Amino acid sequence: MKVYNLYFNGQLTPASDGKVFDAINPSNGEVFAKVASASLIDMQSAINSAREQFDNGEWSKLSVQQRGEYLKKISQLIRDNAFELARLECADVGKTIKHANLIDVPTAAETFDFFAGVEKWLSSKELDIPAPVRSLIEREPIGVIAAVIPWNYPMIMTAWKMAPALIAGNTVVFKPSSKACASVMRLAELIETIGLPKGVINIVPSADHQTASELVSNPMVDKISFTGGTETGRQVMQMASINIKRMTLELGGKSPNIVFADSDIDAAVGGAMSAIFMNQGQMCTSGSRLLLDEKIYDVFMAKLVEKTKALRIGIAEDYATDFGPLVTCEHRDSVYKFIQKGVSEGAKILCGGKIPTGADFDKGFYLEPTILGDVRNDMFVAQEEAFGPVLCVISFSSEEEAVKLANDTKYGLAASVWTKDEEKAKRIARQIKCGTVWVNTYGGFYNEAPFGGYKQSGFGRELGMDGLYEYTQTKHICIDKTPGGTPLVSGWF
């Protein structure tokens, strides 16, 4: 059986205590690989490696263009091994093979390529100051970056965090989730072949809580970039506060998907399904609250339920599968309990809501795509994140009510608005308190555009210029240009 080792200080190595954890295929419950589980000593060694490279190595001294050449090599490695990486993502996470092939792996490659070419964003800028000075703004790397990602999008999250951190001149200690990281560990094996300076990238998964905590609290780490649940995000903030570390947090969501009567109904139905059922609903941006104009409620729901019932549930590796398993048995069971909680509050199951049975499903972690009607926005299921394929449908009667419902949540990550009236869409988008609003679409992520949340969905941004600058320090250099070389400060005393 394949064993994936840790990668730090430029080498692939087993865990110092020999521990591993299983990589389990959620389609059939079988162990398909084992992954080294970093010990506390391993994590400290990885951090030391990153620190030594940043403080005394060559990486931060290379030009942006030179660092970009390494990013291009990583991008090409991903493209050259795309099918293998997609199959690993499929086997480890349970996302459908067409999803992994068409979205996740190409997106990761494109992100490394994009940030390889952002030299202009990191170049020195001169300010126009009404004084006899030359004022320069420099963007410098922060230092050692601790990047922590969840299990739902391993390849994409790796690229989103690594690429901007590296091009800015930082070194990275990267901790993928022990629930699903086989694709990332295979990428580590590939990265080991390109001659990257030792300590620039360090990839250390661990199933041990103390080891993970060390990455966040260690004083040699300068910044935390964390994507995960809101409750874990709070704990990360507390640990990072001891050393006043820089932070980027991308946390939970309960995103509203607002559909008006003047929308293209068929397009909105398809968009609503993608918003909640892609990756089996295991997305922080999941459009889990469908806010539906009461004028089209019956027509829309009839179409939505019919199309949802027609989704083909099956093993993730089958190209004919529309809807695969959830990542683990425990997670599947927690989402199932979430559905039952909704029913106990008065919600009505319009379709799905069950764990499928039969020979095709008994060994995997399957759950039917579920739609709940008669949901009130004050219900537990409308306020808390299921992180699974559970859609809560809430009707509204006016634009004002739709906006109020959309904002009545502790989260603020994303939203969608469906209407043919573009002015109305822009008006509503400006009122919704979240980081991204899609109009007549869902889930458009672009390397050029920033992504992140409001409220308890976190702070800071991924991607775009804003995301790049999350990994830089801003320095102001002020050069006196007073005629004669005697500024006022020289003669003050």
Axis-axis angle for helices 82-93, 105-115 (nearest 10): 120
Dihedral sign from CA coordinates of 369, 94, 212, 110: negative
Give the pair of three-digit tokens for residue 292: 């539906």
Q: Is the CB of residue 43 less than 8 Å from the CB of residue 144?
A: no
Whether 206 and 82 have beta carbons less than 8 Å apart is answered as: no
Q: What CA–CA distance (Å, rounded) separates 178 from 21? A: 7
Please tell me which residue in 90, 181, 284, 351 is annotated as part of the active site: 284
Query: Can 250 be counted among the known catalytic residues?
Result: yes
Q: SS3 for 117?
A: coil
d(CA 315, CA 362): 11
Beta strands (DSSP E) in 326-430 are 348-351, 370-373, 390-396, 411-412, 414-418
Which residue's structure tokens are 């990756």? 279
Per DSSP bridges, beta strands 223-227 and 144-148 are parallel
Residue-by-residue DSSP string for 74-117: HHHHHHHTHHHHHHHHHHHH---HHHIIIIIHHHHHHHHHHHTT
3-state SS of the chain: helix, strand, coil percent to 5?
A: 40, 20, 35
**Helix 105-115, helix 154-167: angle, nearest 10:** 10
d(CA 337, CA 340): 5
Query: Are 65 and 119 contacting, i.e. CB atoms less than 8 angstroms apart?
Result: yes
The burial class, CB within 10 Å (0-12 / 13-18 / 19+), for 126 is exposed
Q: What tokens were used for 331?
A: 């997670």
Would you state the structure tokens that stand for residue 124, as one six-digit string?
């020195």
**Residue 230 · residue 260 · CB < 8 Å:** no
Please name which of 213, 211, 252 lies closest in space to residue 230, comparing C-alpha atoms.
252
Work out the burial of residue 100: count CB atoms within 10 Å of its CB; fewer than 13 is exposed, 13-18 middle, 19 or more buried: buried
60 vs 14: CA distance, rounded Å: 28
The residue annotated as part of the active site, out of 110, 214, 250, 368, is: 250
Q: What is the DSSP letter of 326?
A: -
Catalytic residues: 250, 284
